[in-house]
Amino acid sequence: MEPNNIDSSMGSPPHNHVEATDYDLHFATWSLEYLRNAALKLQLVRPRSLAWAILLNALPPPSSDIITNIKAHRNFYNDLRDKLSMDPRAVIGDDPLSQNDESAWKQHFCDNELKALILQDVVRTYPEEVYFRDKDVQDLMVRVLFFWARSHSVGYRQGMHEILAPLLFELYEDRKYAPDDVSDTLKCYLDKDYLEHDSHMLFNAVMKGVERFYSTGDVVPSSCGRLPTSTSVHSQNEVVRYLEHVKDEYLVPLDNELATHLAKCNISMELFGIRWLRLLFGREFPRRDTPRLWGFVFAEGPALRHLHFLVLALLLAMKKSLMVSESGAALSALMRPARAPAAYVCALALHLRTPHAPRPHTPPTPSPPSTPPTPPTPPTPPTSYTYG
């Protein structure tokens, strides 16, 4: 197995693109311990989505049981889809105008509203990527997100589509670049007819660790997936409590100077941290870094227990620019993609988690390119989402 030192992109690979693979599934290199070590070193290889599924405990390492588990997940999704796709016309005596909570017609209209809500986000997924402009892909994403939302109390929240998209793309890429001659295990796993089923499997596995960051405490979504707008609910979000804990228990003891500066700038952790956590740092680095970054995140299992070390590492990597910035500039820097390489931030997070691990050398700060002055043009506001 060759080392995974290729900087792959989510876009279509160039003609000279080489992806590190191990479609032979040699047992020694697909044990859970080996995959964890490889993920922490950013060296997972294709089929990477299978490695993610194993790390997240969705599937066992390749063995006689893995095919049984794959089929079980697919059967579960089929059952879920059948259960939540009832045709209200098949319910005798139900009135399409009924406001009864038990009415199949009322649920049908609520489901359509939820699907429309999800579609609004899905159509904006990675607008420059051709793959996500395909209507069949968008419809697949809406179905996966809808069935997950309807079967979980947190419902659908903005940002979940940016968790699903990289998972779906990895599953698609693993199928696309697989050799023709593969084992029976991979023939089962890489079956193109089950791309939707396996996307739900991976998304569900990741959301076990991320769902808490979308939780709104005592606020329960309606059957249409929308959250109540009542101002009488004052339950603090789980994500806010988590970020406050990271600040008080880790950032302050580790780097009180930086924590104090952020406080003086009136920048609370939630202003930037909610996006970092809900999207698993998907916007903080180039998308070509997402597969390796997420392998690092998934290395410790579905609970994602060590996310706070990535939060700390990213803050420390940005400290120099943050310390010389005023409030507005500092917050702007925290909301833009990080200039520090993802590999450095992961290595620093590993050092913080395991102090005996070597501390990575600080990468040189890239200099802005030297270009001749050009006439000013009106700025184009970036596409942004509100996470609250």
| 328-362 confidence digits (pLDDT tens) | 999 999 999 888 999 999 999 999 998 887 888 87
Reported confidence tier of residue 15, pLDDT bands at 50, 70, 90 = very low
DSSP state of 189: H
Q: Where are the domains of the chain?
A: 66-214, 238-353
Summarised one tens digit per residue, pLDDT across range 315-336 is 999 999 999 988 899 999 999 9
- Residue 380 predicted with pLDDT over 50: no
How far apart CA 110 and CA 96 sit, in angstroms, is 12
Amino acid, single-letter form, for residue 97: L
Cβ atoms of 293 and 346 within 8 Å: the answer is yes
With the C-alpha atoms ordered 86, 89, 94, 98, is the resulting torsion angle positive or negative?
Answer: positive
Which residue, among 110, 101, 209, has the nearest Cα to 163 in the 3D structure? 209
Q: Please check whether the domain covering 238-353 is classified as CATH 3.40.50.720.
A: no
Lowest mean pLDDT among 82-86, 179-183, 227-231, 269-273: 227-231
- Cα 318 to the center of its chain, rounded Å: 22
- Its pTM stands at 0.84
Q: Looking at residue 364, what is its pLDDT?
A: 58
Query: Between 150 and 380, where is the model more confident?
Result: 150
How far apart CA 48 and CA 283 sit, in angstroms, is 20
Reported confidence tier of residue 108, pLDDT bands at 50, 70, 90 = confident
10 Å CB burial of residue 104 (0-12, 13-18, 19+) is: middle
With the C-alpha atoms ordered 363, 368, 370, 371, is the resulting torsion angle positive or negative?
Answer: positive
Residues 6+ apart with CB under 8 A from 231: none
Which residue, among 267, 349, 285, has the nearest Cα to 41 in the 3D structure? 349
CA angle 371, 374, 379 (to 5 degrees): 110
Lowest mean pLDDT among 196-210, 218-232, 339-353: 218-232
- Residue 135 predicted with pLDDT over 80: yes
Which residue, among 386, 64, 52, has the nearest Cα to 206 in the 3D structure? 52
Average pLDDT of span 85-106: 64
- Residue 232 predicted with pLDDT over 70: no
Q: Looking at residue 356, what is its pLDDT?
A: 82
For residue 54, the surrounding DSSP H or E stretch is: helix 48-55
